[in-house]
Structure 1
Protein backbone atom coordinates (compact mmCIF):
# COMPACT_ATOMS: atom_id res chain seq x y z
CA UNK A 1 0.00 0.00 0.00
CA UNK A 2 1.39 3.37 -1.01
CA UNK A 3 2.29 5.94 1.65
CA UNK A 4 2.14 8.80 -0.87
CA UNK A 5 -0.25 11.55 0.21
CA UNK A 6 0.10 14.45 -2.22
CA UNK A 7 2.36 16.90 -3.98
CA UNK A 8 2.02 20.61 -3.18
CA UNK A 9 3.62 24.04 -3.35
CA UNK A 10 4.44 26.47 -0.55
CA UNK A 11 5.77 30.03 -0.72
CA UNK A 12 8.87 30.12 1.48
CA UNK A 13 12.06 32.19 1.41
CA UNK A 14 10.50 34.28 -1.33
CA UNK A 15 10.04 31.48 -3.88
CA UNK A 16 7.65 28.67 -4.78
CA UNK A 17 8.89 25.42 -3.30
CA UNK A 18 7.35 22.16 -4.47
CA UNK A 19 7.38 18.98 -2.40
CA UNK A 20 5.94 15.49 -2.17
CA UNK A 21 4.51 14.26 1.11
CA UNK A 22 4.45 10.67 2.34
CA UNK A 23 3.15 9.01 5.48
CA UNK A 24 1.42 11.72 7.48
CA UNK A 25 1.08 11.88 11.25
CA UNK A 26 -1.21 8.96 12.03
CA UNK A 27 -0.31 6.12 14.38
CA UNK A 28 3.27 5.75 15.55
CA UNK A 29 4.39 8.48 13.16
CA UNK A 30 2.63 11.02 15.38
CA UNK A 31 5.26 10.62 18.08
CA UNK A 32 8.25 10.79 15.74
CA UNK A 33 10.05 13.74 14.18
CA UNK A 34 9.14 14.58 10.61
CA UNK A 35 11.79 13.97 7.94
CA UNK A 36 12.72 16.36 5.13
CA UNK A 37 14.63 14.67 2.29
CA UNK A 38 16.84 16.94 0.18
CA UNK A 39 17.92 15.30 -3.11
CA UNK A 40 21.11 15.86 -5.09
CA UNK A 41 22.13 18.13 -7.92
CA UNK A 42 19.98 16.70 -10.76
CA UNK A 43 17.40 14.71 -8.80
CA UNK A 44 13.88 16.12 -8.81
CA UNK A 45 11.78 15.00 -5.84
CA UNK A 46 9.81 12.47 -7.88
CA UNK A 47 12.97 10.45 -8.55
CA UNK A 48 13.23 9.91 -4.78
CA UNK A 49 9.64 8.72 -4.60
CA UNK A 50 10.60 5.10 -3.93
CA UNK A 51 12.60 6.29 -0.92
CA UNK A 52 9.74 8.53 0.20
CA UNK A 53 7.43 5.52 0.11
CA UNK A 54 9.60 3.61 2.59
CA UNK A 55 10.22 6.59 4.84
CA UNK A 56 6.50 7.34 4.82
CA UNK A 57 5.80 4.00 6.47
CA UNK A 58 7.61 5.22 9.58
CA UNK A 59 7.77 9.03 9.42
CA UNK A 60 5.87 12.06 8.21
CA UNK A 61 8.10 12.64 5.18
CA UNK A 62 8.62 15.56 2.81
CA UNK A 63 10.76 15.24 -0.33
CA UNK A 64 11.84 18.63 -1.69
CA UNK A 65 12.33 19.89 -5.19
CA UNK A 66 15.42 22.05 -4.62
CA UNK A 67 15.11 25.45 -6.32
CA UNK A 68 15.72 25.11 -10.04
CA UNK A 69 14.69 21.46 -10.07
CA UNK A 70 11.40 19.65 -10.60
CA UNK A 71 8.37 21.88 -10.03
CA UNK A 72 10.05 24.41 -7.73
CA UNK A 73 10.74 27.93 -8.95
CA UNK A 74 13.44 28.55 -11.54
CA UNK A 75 14.50 31.68 -13.42
CA UNK A 76 17.54 33.49 -14.75
CA UNK A 77 17.25 35.93 -11.83
CA UNK A 78 17.18 33.28 -9.08
CA UNK A 79 20.03 32.89 -6.59
CA UNK A 80 21.26 29.31 -6.86
CA UNK A 81 23.91 29.57 -4.15
CA UNK A 82 24.36 27.11 -1.31
CA UNK A 83 23.31 29.79 1.18
CA UNK A 84 20.05 30.39 -0.68
CA UNK A 85 19.32 26.67 -0.90
CA UNK A 86 19.97 26.27 2.82
CA UNK A 87 17.69 29.20 3.65
CA UNK A 88 15.00 27.54 1.52
CA UNK A 89 15.02 24.45 3.72
CA UNK A 90 14.74 26.41 6.95
CA UNK A 91 11.94 28.56 5.54
CA UNK A 92 10.18 25.47 4.18
CA UNK A 93 10.04 23.84 7.62
CA UNK A 94 8.79 27.08 9.14
CA UNK A 95 6.13 27.57 6.48
CA UNK A 96 4.74 24.09 7.11
CA UNK A 97 4.86 24.59 10.87
CA UNK A 98 7.06 21.56 11.53
CA UNK A 99 7.83 21.57 15.24
CA UNK A 100 10.46 18.82 15.16
CA UNK A 101 12.17 17.53 12.04
CA UNK A 102 15.26 15.74 10.77
CA UNK A 103 17.10 16.53 7.55
CA UNK A 104 18.27 13.75 5.23
CA UNK A 105 20.37 15.18 2.42
CA UNK A 106 21.97 13.22 -0.41
CA UNK A 107 25.08 14.54 -2.18
CA UNK A 108 24.39 18.26 -2.81
CA UNK A 109 21.44 17.85 -0.44
CA UNK A 110 23.86 16.87 2.32
CA UNK A 111 25.81 20.09 1.80
CA UNK A 112 22.54 22.04 1.89
CA UNK A 113 21.48 20.35 5.13
CA UNK A 114 24.83 21.05 6.77
CA UNK A 115 24.73 24.72 5.78
CA UNK A 116 21.11 24.98 6.96
CA UNK A 117 22.10 23.57 10.36
CA UNK A 118 24.69 26.31 10.74
CA UNK A 119 21.87 28.78 11.50
CA UNK A 120 20.60 26.51 14.30
CA UNK A 121 16.99 26.53 13.11
CA UNK A 122 14.29 25.94 15.68
CA UNK A 123 12.84 22.46 15.30
CA UNK A 124 15.86 20.77 13.71
CA UNK A 125 16.65 17.69 15.79
CA UNK A 126 19.21 15.70 13.76
CA UNK A 127 20.54 15.24 10.26
CA UNK A 128 21.90 12.58 7.96
CA UNK A 129 24.49 13.52 5.35
CA UNK A 130 24.48 10.91 2.59
CA UNK A 131 27.76 10.85 0.65
CA UNK A 132 28.14 14.66 0.55
CA UNK A 133 30.83 16.03 -1.78
CA UNK A 134 33.81 17.07 0.34
CA UNK A 135 35.35 19.10 -2.49
CA UNK A 136 36.01 22.77 -1.93
CA UNK A 137 38.67 25.47 -2.15
CA UNK A 138 42.10 23.87 -2.34
CA UNK A 139 40.67 20.33 -2.21
CA UNK A 140 40.45 17.52 -4.75
CA UNK A 141 37.72 17.96 -7.32
CA UNK A 142 34.35 16.28 -7.11
CA UNK A 143 34.79 13.00 -9.06
CA UNK A 144 31.79 13.41 -11.37
CA UNK A 145 32.45 15.63 -14.38
CA UNK A 146 30.25 18.50 -15.52
CA UNK A 147 29.62 17.15 -19.08
CA UNK A 148 27.86 14.11 -17.56
CA UNK A 149 25.20 16.47 -16.22
CA UNK A 150 25.08 18.93 -19.10
CA UNK A 151 24.93 16.31 -21.85
CA UNK A 152 22.26 14.19 -20.17
CA UNK A 153 20.12 17.28 -19.50
CA UNK A 154 20.42 18.33 -23.15
CA UNK A 155 19.27 14.86 -24.20
CA UNK A 156 16.30 15.06 -21.83
CA UNK A 157 15.30 18.52 -23.07
CA UNK A 158 15.04 17.14 -26.60
CA UNK A 159 12.96 14.24 -25.37
CA UNK A 160 14.30 10.75 -24.83
CA UNK A 161 13.28 7.36 -23.50
CA UNK A 162 14.69 5.21 -20.73
CA UNK A 163 16.99 3.33 -23.08
CA UNK A 164 18.66 6.55 -24.24
CA UNK A 165 19.28 7.50 -20.60
CA UNK A 166 20.93 4.15 -19.89
CA UNK A 167 24.30 5.36 -21.22
CA UNK A 168 24.44 7.75 -18.26
CA UNK A 169 23.04 5.41 -15.58
CA UNK A 170 23.82 1.88 -16.78
CA UNK A 171 23.00 0.07 -13.53
CA UNK A 172 19.58 1.62 -12.97
CA UNK A 173 16.28 -0.21 -13.40
CA UNK A 174 13.97 0.47 -16.32
CA UNK A 175 11.57 2.33 -14.01
CA UNK A 176 14.33 4.52 -12.57
CA UNK A 177 15.67 5.32 -16.03
CA UNK A 178 12.19 6.19 -17.26
CA UNK A 179 11.66 8.63 -14.39
CA UNK A 180 15.00 10.30 -15.05
CA UNK A 181 14.26 10.56 -18.77
CA UNK A 182 10.87 12.09 -17.98
CA UNK A 183 11.97 14.59 -15.32
CA UNK A 184 15.59 15.55 -15.98
CA UNK A 185 14.52 18.35 -18.33
CA UNK A 186 13.04 20.15 -15.30
CA UNK A 187 16.55 20.76 -13.95
CA UNK A 188 17.48 24.32 -14.89
CA UNK A 189 20.96 24.27 -16.38
CA UNK A 190 21.79 27.56 -14.65
CA UNK A 191 21.05 25.93 -11.29
CA UNK A 192 23.16 22.89 -12.07
CA UNK A 193 26.13 24.98 -13.27
CA UNK A 194 25.97 27.14 -10.13
CA UNK A 195 25.72 24.14 -7.80
CA UNK A 196 28.55 22.28 -9.54
CA UNK A 197 30.75 25.34 -9.30
CA UNK A 198 29.77 25.59 -5.63
CA UNK A 199 31.07 22.07 -5.06
CA UNK A 200 34.52 23.56 -5.66
CA UNK A 201 34.15 27.08 -4.24
CA UNK A 202 32.04 26.55 -1.10
CA UNK A 203 33.86 25.42 2.03
CA UNK A 204 31.50 23.09 3.90
CA UNK A 205 34.16 22.00 6.37
CA UNK A 206 33.69 25.25 8.29
CA UNK A 207 30.08 24.16 8.90
CA UNK A 208 30.81 20.91 10.71
CA UNK A 209 31.91 22.48 14.03
CA UNK A 210 28.72 24.58 13.97
CA UNK A 211 26.42 21.55 13.92
CA UNK A 212 24.64 21.43 17.28
CA UNK A 213 22.42 18.41 16.56
CA UNK A 214 23.36 14.74 16.19
CA UNK A 215 24.85 13.99 12.76
CA UNK A 216 25.06 10.70 10.89
CA UNK A 217 27.49 10.59 7.98
CA UNK A 218 26.57 7.84 5.51
CA UNK A 219 29.11 7.08 2.80
CA UNK A 220 29.32 4.78 -0.21
CA UNK A 221 31.85 1.98 -0.46
CA UNK A 222 32.45 2.91 -4.10
CA UNK A 223 32.45 6.20 -5.96
CA UNK A 224 35.39 8.00 -4.34
CA UNK A 225 33.26 10.90 -3.07
CA UNK A 226 34.08 10.48 0.64
CA UNK A 227 37.30 8.61 1.42
CA UNK A 228 38.46 7.23 4.76
CA UNK A 229 40.77 10.21 5.27
CA UNK A 230 37.83 12.54 4.66
CA UNK A 231 35.84 10.78 7.36
CA UNK A 232 38.74 11.22 9.79
CA UNK A 233 39.00 14.91 8.97
CA UNK A 234 35.28 15.35 9.59
CA UNK A 235 35.60 13.51 12.91
CA UNK A 236 38.31 15.99 13.84
CA UNK A 237 35.91 18.84 13.16
CA UNK A 238 32.87 17.22 14.78
CA UNK A 239 33.86 14.50 17.22
CA UNK A 240 30.27 13.43 17.87
CA UNK A 241 29.57 12.50 14.23
CA UNK A 242 28.45 8.94 13.64
CA UNK A 243 29.64 7.21 10.47
CA UNK A 244 28.42 4.24 8.48
CA UNK A 245 29.63 2.96 5.12
CA UNK A 246 27.19 1.20 2.80
CA UNK A 247 28.72 -1.76 1.01
CA UNK A 248 28.07 -2.67 -2.61
CA UNK A 249 27.03 0.90 -3.44
CA UNK A 250 28.33 3.83 -5.40
CA UNK A 251 27.39 7.46 -4.87
CA UNK A 252 23.71 6.87 -5.71
CA UNK A 253 23.40 4.62 -2.68
CA UNK A 254 19.64 3.83 -2.63
CA UNK A 255 19.76 3.02 -6.35
CA UNK A 256 22.70 0.62 -5.91
CA UNK A 257 21.81 -1.00 -2.58
CA UNK A 258 18.37 0.08 -1.46
CA UNK A 259 18.05 -2.21 1.56
CA UNK A 260 21.61 -1.43 2.63
CA UNK A 261 20.71 2.25 2.49
CA UNK A 262 17.71 1.83 4.80
CA UNK A 263 19.61 -0.44 7.17
CA UNK A 264 22.42 2.10 7.50
CA UNK A 265 20.11 4.50 9.33
CA UNK A 266 19.70 2.06 12.21
CA UNK A 267 17.54 3.83 14.80
CA UNK A 268 19.21 7.21 14.26
CA UNK A 269 15.94 8.85 13.17
CA UNK A 270 14.01 7.38 16.08
CA UNK A 271 12.80 4.18 14.44
CA UNK A 272 14.38 1.70 12.05
CA UNK A 273 13.43 1.72 8.37
CA UNK A 274 12.36 -1.92 8.54
CA UNK A 275 12.88 -4.11 5.46
CA UNK A 276 10.02 -4.90 3.15
CA UNK A 277 7.80 -7.76 4.20
Structure 2
Protein backbone atom coordinates (compact mmCIF):
# COMPACT_ATOMS: atom_id res chain seq x y z
CA UNK A 1 0.00 0.00 0.00
CA UNK A 2 1.26 3.53 -0.72
CA UNK A 3 2.55 5.56 2.20
CA UNK A 4 3.28 9.20 2.87
CA UNK A 5 5.68 10.20 5.63
CA UNK A 6 4.47 13.16 7.69
CA UNK A 7 6.69 14.37 10.53
CA UNK A 8 8.33 10.98 10.79
CA UNK A 9 5.09 8.99 10.68
CA UNK A 10 4.37 6.78 7.65
CA UNK A 11 0.68 7.16 6.77
CA UNK A 12 -0.81 4.31 4.75
CA UNK A 13 -3.55 5.25 2.32
CA UNK A 14 -5.68 4.01 -0.59
CA UNK A 15 -6.37 6.21 -3.62
CA UNK A 16 -8.91 4.54 -5.90
CA UNK A 17 -11.38 5.27 -8.67
CA UNK A 18 -11.33 7.45 -11.79
CA UNK A 19 -9.41 10.72 -11.67
CA UNK A 20 -11.53 12.63 -14.21
CA UNK A 21 -15.23 13.09 -14.78
CA UNK A 22 -16.43 11.40 -11.60
CA UNK A 23 -17.17 14.42 -9.46
CA UNK A 24 -15.38 15.82 -6.44
CA UNK A 25 -13.14 13.27 -4.67
CA UNK A 26 -14.49 11.62 -1.54
CA UNK A 27 -12.09 11.41 1.41
CA UNK A 28 -12.98 9.03 4.27
CA UNK A 29 -11.60 9.45 7.80
CA UNK A 30 -12.08 6.67 10.35
CA UNK A 31 -12.43 7.00 14.11
CA UNK A 32 -10.61 6.18 17.33
CA UNK A 33 -8.94 2.70 17.46
CA UNK A 34 -10.35 1.84 14.01
CA UNK A 35 -8.65 1.77 10.59
CA UNK A 36 -9.41 2.61 6.98
CA UNK A 37 -11.12 -0.75 6.40
CA UNK A 38 -14.18 0.56 8.28
CA UNK A 39 -15.10 2.15 4.95
CA UNK A 40 -14.92 -1.01 2.79
CA UNK A 41 -18.56 -0.89 1.71
CA UNK A 42 -18.53 2.80 0.88
CA UNK A 43 -15.21 2.67 -0.99
CA UNK A 44 -16.30 -0.35 -3.07
CA UNK A 45 -19.42 1.55 -4.13
CA UNK A 46 -18.05 5.02 -4.81
CA UNK A 47 -14.73 4.02 -6.39
CA UNK A 48 -16.67 2.74 -9.40
CA UNK A 49 -17.54 6.28 -10.44
CA UNK A 50 -15.30 8.79 -8.62
CA UNK A 51 -11.96 9.21 -6.93
CA UNK A 52 -11.99 7.89 -3.35
CA UNK A 53 -9.26 8.28 -0.72
CA UNK A 54 -9.03 6.71 2.72
CA UNK A 55 -6.11 6.36 5.10
CA UNK A 56 -5.07 4.97 8.45
CA UNK A 57 -4.67 7.71 11.02
CA UNK A 58 -1.30 8.11 12.70
CA UNK A 59 -0.74 5.15 15.03
CA UNK A 60 -3.71 3.19 13.66
CA UNK A 61 -3.96 0.28 11.25
CA UNK A 62 -0.95 0.12 8.94
CA UNK A 63 0.23 3.66 9.69
CA UNK A 64 3.11 4.25 12.05
CA UNK A 65 3.84 7.00 14.50
CA UNK A 66 2.61 8.15 17.86
CA UNK A 67 3.05 11.26 19.93
CA UNK A 68 0.07 13.08 18.44
CA UNK A 69 -1.72 14.99 21.19
CA UNK A 70 -4.68 16.78 19.61
CA UNK A 71 -7.36 16.37 16.99
CA UNK A 72 -5.84 19.40 15.25
CA UNK A 73 -2.59 17.50 14.74
CA UNK A 74 -4.48 14.64 13.08
CA UNK A 75 -6.18 17.23 10.87
CA UNK A 76 -2.75 18.47 9.80
CA UNK A 77 -1.89 14.92 8.69
CA UNK A 78 -5.04 14.87 6.57
CA UNK A 79 -4.21 18.21 4.92
CA UNK A 80 -0.68 16.95 4.20
CA UNK A 81 -2.18 13.90 2.48
CA UNK A 82 -4.51 16.07 0.39
CA UNK A 83 -1.55 18.21 -0.65
CA UNK A 84 0.48 15.12 -1.54
CA UNK A 85 -2.34 13.75 -3.71
CA UNK A 86 -3.02 17.09 -5.37
CA UNK A 87 -6.59 17.24 -4.08
CA UNK A 88 -7.55 20.89 -3.80
CA UNK A 89 -11.21 20.34 -2.94
CA UNK A 90 -13.02 17.29 -1.60
CA UNK A 91 -16.08 15.87 0.11
CA UNK A 92 -14.95 14.93 3.62
CA UNK A 93 -16.59 11.96 5.35
CA UNK A 94 -15.64 11.39 8.97
CA UNK A 95 -16.81 8.82 11.50
CA UNK A 96 -16.72 9.66 15.23
CA UNK A 97 -13.23 11.11 15.90
CA UNK A 98 -12.86 11.24 12.11
CA UNK A 99 -15.77 13.68 12.07
CA UNK A 100 -13.95 15.83 14.60
CA UNK A 101 -10.94 15.83 12.26
CA UNK A 102 -13.18 16.74 9.32
CA UNK A 103 -14.71 19.69 11.18
CA UNK A 104 -11.24 20.90 12.13
CA UNK A 105 -10.17 20.88 8.48
CA UNK A 106 -13.40 22.61 7.43
CA UNK A 107 -12.63 25.39 9.92
CA UNK A 108 -8.91 25.74 9.20
CA UNK A 109 -9.07 25.18 5.41
CA UNK A 110 -12.64 26.02 4.34
CA UNK A 111 -11.75 26.21 0.66
CA UNK A 112 -10.72 22.55 0.67
CA UNK A 113 -14.13 21.20 1.73
CA UNK A 114 -16.98 21.24 -0.78
CA UNK A 115 -19.34 19.19 1.37
CA UNK A 116 -19.00 17.31 4.64
CA UNK A 117 -20.59 14.19 6.05
CA UNK A 118 -20.38 13.54 9.78
CA UNK A 119 -21.16 9.98 10.84
CA UNK A 120 -21.85 9.51 14.56
CA UNK A 121 -19.80 12.59 15.37
CA UNK A 122 -20.14 15.75 17.44
CA UNK A 123 -18.55 19.18 17.85
CA UNK A 124 -18.14 19.13 21.63
CA UNK A 125 -17.34 16.05 23.66
CA UNK A 126 -19.62 15.62 26.65
CA UNK A 127 -19.13 12.36 28.50
CA UNK A 128 -22.04 10.46 29.96
CA UNK A 129 -21.70 9.13 33.50
CA UNK A 130 -21.02 5.66 32.10
CA UNK A 131 -18.28 6.90 29.79
CA UNK A 132 -16.77 8.92 32.62
CA UNK A 133 -16.63 5.80 34.80
CA UNK A 134 -14.88 3.91 32.00
CA UNK A 135 -12.31 6.67 31.75
CA UNK A 136 -11.75 6.62 35.50
CA UNK A 137 -11.34 2.83 35.40
CA UNK A 138 -8.87 2.96 32.52
CA UNK A 139 -5.89 3.05 34.87
CA UNK A 140 -7.26 0.29 37.09
CA UNK A 141 -8.16 -2.44 34.60
CA UNK A 142 -6.08 -4.25 31.96
CA UNK A 143 -5.75 -2.19 28.78
CA UNK A 144 -7.42 -4.77 26.53
CA UNK A 145 -10.38 -4.97 28.89
CA UNK A 146 -10.75 -1.19 28.76
CA UNK A 147 -10.71 -1.22 24.94
CA UNK A 148 -13.15 -4.14 24.79
CA UNK A 149 -15.61 -2.37 27.10
CA UNK A 150 -15.55 0.74 24.90
CA UNK A 151 -15.99 -1.15 21.63
CA UNK A 152 -18.71 -3.51 22.86
CA UNK A 153 -20.94 -0.65 24.01
CA UNK A 154 -20.55 1.03 20.61
CA UNK A 155 -22.89 -1.41 18.86
CA UNK A 156 -26.67 -1.42 18.94
CA UNK A 157 -28.44 -4.24 20.78
CA UNK A 158 -28.65 -7.41 18.70
CA UNK A 159 -25.51 -6.90 16.61
CA UNK A 160 -23.78 -10.30 16.17
CA UNK A 161 -21.36 -11.06 19.01
CA UNK A 162 -18.82 -12.66 16.69
CA UNK A 163 -18.67 -9.49 14.63
CA UNK A 164 -18.21 -7.38 17.76
CA UNK A 165 -15.40 -9.68 18.92
CA UNK A 166 -13.63 -9.15 15.60
CA UNK A 167 -13.74 -5.37 15.98
CA UNK A 168 -12.58 -5.60 19.59
CA UNK A 169 -9.53 -7.59 18.48
CA UNK A 170 -8.79 -5.11 15.70
CA UNK A 171 -9.05 -2.13 18.07
CA UNK A 172 -6.74 -3.78 20.59
CA UNK A 173 -3.96 -3.65 17.97
CA UNK A 174 -3.75 0.12 18.49
CA UNK A 175 -1.06 0.95 21.04
CA UNK A 176 -1.95 1.98 24.56
CA UNK A 177 -0.17 5.31 24.09
CA UNK A 178 -2.20 6.21 21.01
CA UNK A 179 -5.49 4.97 22.48
CA UNK A 180 -5.20 6.83 25.75
CA UNK A 181 -3.69 10.01 24.33
CA UNK A 182 -6.42 10.36 21.71
CA UNK A 183 -9.08 9.52 24.28
CA UNK A 184 -7.92 12.63 26.08
CA UNK A 185 -7.75 14.58 22.80
CA UNK A 186 -11.40 13.80 22.09
CA UNK A 187 -12.35 14.81 25.60
CA UNK A 188 -10.69 18.19 25.02
CA UNK A 189 -12.23 18.66 21.56
CA UNK A 190 -14.65 21.58 21.39
CA UNK A 191 -15.53 23.58 18.27
CA UNK A 192 -19.25 23.95 18.99
CA UNK A 193 -18.99 27.71 19.27
CA UNK A 194 -17.29 27.89 15.86
CA UNK A 195 -19.31 25.55 13.65
CA UNK A 196 -21.46 28.47 12.53
CA UNK A 197 -18.44 29.41 10.41
CA UNK A 198 -18.70 26.19 8.38
CA UNK A 199 -20.51 27.08 5.18
CA UNK A 200 -20.10 23.73 3.42
CA UNK A 201 -23.40 21.82 3.21
CA UNK A 202 -23.17 19.12 5.86
CA UNK A 203 -24.99 15.81 6.28
CA UNK A 204 -25.12 14.45 9.83
CA UNK A 205 -25.93 10.74 10.01
CA UNK A 206 -26.33 9.22 13.45
CA UNK A 207 -27.32 5.93 14.99
CA UNK A 208 -30.42 6.11 17.17
CA UNK A 209 -28.85 3.73 19.71
CA UNK A 210 -25.50 5.51 19.90
CA UNK A 211 -24.60 5.72 23.60
CA UNK A 212 -21.00 6.76 22.93
CA UNK A 213 -22.01 10.07 21.36
CA UNK A 214 -25.77 10.33 21.94
CA UNK A 215 -28.15 11.72 19.34
CA UNK A 216 -29.02 14.71 21.52
CA UNK A 217 -25.42 15.89 21.33
CA UNK A 218 -25.47 15.68 17.53
CA UNK A 219 -28.77 17.59 17.36
CA UNK A 220 -27.30 20.35 19.49
CA UNK A 221 -24.48 20.60 16.96
CA UNK A 222 -26.86 20.53 13.99
CA UNK A 223 -28.73 23.56 15.30
CA UNK A 224 -25.50 25.57 15.22
CA UNK A 225 -24.67 24.72 11.59
CA UNK A 226 -25.76 27.13 8.81
CA UNK A 227 -26.53 24.29 6.38
CA UNK A 228 -27.12 20.90 8.00
CA UNK A 229 -29.21 17.90 7.02
CA UNK A 230 -29.86 15.23 9.66
CA UNK A 231 -30.51 11.51 9.16
CA UNK A 232 -31.13 9.08 12.02
CA UNK A 233 -30.63 5.38 11.30
CA UNK A 234 -31.51 2.27 13.29
CA UNK A 235 -28.01 1.55 14.58
CA UNK A 236 -25.51 2.28 17.32
CA UNK A 237 -22.20 4.14 17.12
CA UNK A 238 -20.60 1.95 14.44
CA UNK A 239 -22.81 2.90 11.50
CA UNK A 240 -20.22 2.12 8.78
CA UNK A 241 -20.29 -1.57 9.73
CA UNK A 242 -23.71 -1.90 11.39
CA UNK A 243 -25.70 -0.46 8.48
CA UNK A 244 -23.19 -0.17 5.61
CA UNK A 245 -25.68 -0.22 2.73
CA UNK A 246 -27.98 2.36 4.35
CA UNK A 247 -25.03 4.63 5.12
CA UNK A 248 -23.73 4.34 1.57
CA UNK A 249 -27.16 5.15 0.15
CA UNK A 250 -27.48 8.25 2.39
CA UNK A 251 -24.05 9.51 1.31
CA UNK A 252 -24.84 8.80 -2.34
CA UNK A 253 -28.08 10.80 -2.17
CA UNK A 254 -26.27 13.72 -0.56
CA UNK A 255 -23.31 13.98 -2.93
CA UNK A 256 -25.41 13.33 -6.04
How does 1:139-178 map onto structure 2 within 5 Å? 139-141=126-128, 144=131, 145-146=134-135, 150-151=143-144, 171-172=159-160, 178=166
Deviation at residue 152 of structure 1 after TM alignment: 5.2
Kindly tell me: are residues 173 and 227 of structure 1, through their superposed partners in 2, closer, same or farther at Cα, counting changes over 3 Å? closer
Q: Could you say which residue in structure 1 is the equivalent of 2:71?
A: 82
1:233 aligned to 220, 231, 236, which one?
Answer: 220
Q: Could you say which residue in structure 2 is the equivalent of 1:40?
A: 31
How does 1:83-232 map onto structure 2 within 5 Å? 83-133=72-122, 135-136=124-125, 139-141=126-128, 144=131, 145-146=134-135, 150-151=143-144, 171-172=159-160, 178=166, 181=169, 183-224=170-211, 225-228=213-216, 230-232=217-219
Please say if residues 47 and 180 of structure 1, whose CA atoms lie closer than 8 Å, have aligned partners that are also in contact.
no
Kindly tell me: are residues 40 and 218 of structure 1, through their superposed partners in 2, closer, same or farther at Cα, counting changes over 3 Å? same
User: What is the count of residue pairs matched by the alignment?
Assistant: 245
Kindly tell me: are residues 167 and 40 of structure 1, through their superposed partners in 2, closer, same or farther at Cα, counting changes over 3 Å? closer
| Whole-angstrom distance in 1 between the partners of 2:16 and 2:142 | 28
Q: Could you say which residue in structure 2 is the equivalent of 1:261?
A: 247
Please say if residues 39 and 107 of structure 1, whose CA atoms lie closer than 8 Å, have aligned partners that are also in contact.
yes
| Whole-angstrom distance in 2 between the partners of 1:185 and 1:15 | 20
Could you list the runs of 5+ residues in structure 2 that have no partner in the other structure? none
2:48 aligned counterpart, secondary structure: helix
Could you list the runs of 5+ residues in structure 1 that have no partner in the other structure? 1-6, 156-164, 272-277
Deviation at residue 231 of structure 1 after TM alignment: 4.2
Q: Could you say which residue in structure 1 is the equivalent of 2:4?
A: 10
What's the Cα RMSD here?
3.1
Task: Give the 4+ runs in structure 1 shifted more than 4 A.
Answer: 146-149, 152-155, 165-170, 172-180
TM-score (norm 2): 0.81
TM-score (norm 1): 0.75
Kindly tell me: are residues 168 and 233 of structure 1, through their superposed partners in 2, closer, same or farther at Cα, counting changes over 3 Å? closer
1:268 aligned counterpart, secondary structure: helix
Please say if residues 110 and 198 of structure 2, whose CA atoms lie closer than 8 Å, have aligned partners that are also in contact.
no
Tell which has more relative contact order, 1 or 2 (C-alpha 8 A, sep 6+). Answer: 2
Partner deviation per Cα, 1:10-60 (whole Å, 9 max, x = no partner):
13466321112332336xxx3311111100101111343333222322331
